[in-house]
Amino acid sequence: MSTPLSVPRIRAPRTAKLGEIVEIRTLMEHPMETGLRMEAGRTVGRDMLTRMIVRANGEILLQAEFRNGTSANPYHVFFLKIAGTTDLDIIWLDESGRSAKAQARIAV
Partner 1 sequence: MTQTSRRGFLIGAVALVTVPWEAIASDDAVVAAVREQIGAAEIIDGGIALRVPTVAENGGQVPVSILVDTPQNDESHAIAIHVFATRNPTPGVTSFRLSPKLARAEVQTRIRLAQDQQIIVLAQMNDGRVHRVVADIRVTTGGCLS
Q: Which is nearer to partner 1, 2 or 14 (CB)?
A: 14
CB 41, min distance to partner 1, A: 13
Q: Which is nearer to partner 1, 10 or 62 (CB)?
A: 62
DSSP code of 41? T
Which positions ≥6 away from 97 have C-beta within 8 Å?
Answer: none
For residue 47, the tally of other CB atoms under 10 A from its CB is: 16
Q: Which is nearer to partner 1, 70 or 102 (CB)?
A: 70
Which positions ≥6 away from 12 have C-beta within 8 Å?
Answer: 22, 23, 24, 25, 88, 104, 106
CB 92, min distance to partner 1, A: 13
How many residues in the chain? 108
Q: Which is nearer to partner 1, 56 or 90 (CB)?
A: 56
CB 65, min distance to partner 1, A: 4
CA 60 to chain centroid: 13
CB 2, min distance to partner 1, A: 26
Residues in contact with partner 1 by CB under 8 A are 21-22, 34, 36-38, 56, 59-72, 74-81, 83
